[in-house]
């Protein structure tokens, strides 16, 4: 059974710091991996999607890497801002013909001015 773990569970940093959030999964046979952002009282917003054949994706200050063989992904946030405060979730999709995203428990990030 695929299990997805995120470390740390919570993180509080001053504005401007570069951050690394970690995601690990037990079964390396995945189709893709996504990073989501969840704001309180709001739904999830997809940030980055990495196909299993890719090693990284970048969007603005965000960079996500994937090492499928070791079952790990990292989300790098450069020059953090208070507006980055949210819960960050990673999720894996096992194969193309299944639609079940398997989520980690999330990292709750607070960036203070």
Number of separate helices (H) and strands (E) present in the chain: 0, 11
What is the DSSP-derived secondary structure letter of residue 42?
A: S
Residue with tokens 């695929």: 2
Compute the least distance from the CB of residue 96 to another protein, in Å.
4
Torsion of CA 74, 88, 58, 101, to 10 degrees: 80
Compute the least distance from the CB of residue 12 to another protein, in Å.
17
Q: How far apart are CA 43 and CA 14, in angstroms?
A: 26
- Cβ-based nearer residue to another protein, 1 or 113: 1
Residues of this chain that interact with another protein (CB under 8 A) are 4, 31-32, 34, 36, 41-46, 49, 51, 89, 91, 93, 96-106
Compute the least distance from the CB of residue 85 to another protein, in Å.
17
- Cβ-based nearer residue to another protein, 41 or 113: 41
Compute the least distance from the CB of residue 46 to another protein, in Å.
5
């Amino acid at each position: 059974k695929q299990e997805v773990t995120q470390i740390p569970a919570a993180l509080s940093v001053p504005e401007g710091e570069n951050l690394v959030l970690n995601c690990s999964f037990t079964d390396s046979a995945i189709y893709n991996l996504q990073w989501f952002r969840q704001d309180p009282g709001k739904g999830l917003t997809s940030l980055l999607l990495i196909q299993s054949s890719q090693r990284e994706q970048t969007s603005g200050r965000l960079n996500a890497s994937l090492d499928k063989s070791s079952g790990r992904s990292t989300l790098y946030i450069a020059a953090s801002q208070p507006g980055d405060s949210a819960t960050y979730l990673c999720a894996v999709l096992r194969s193309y013909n299944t639609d079940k995203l398997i989520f980690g428990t999330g990292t709750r990030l607070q960036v203070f001015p």
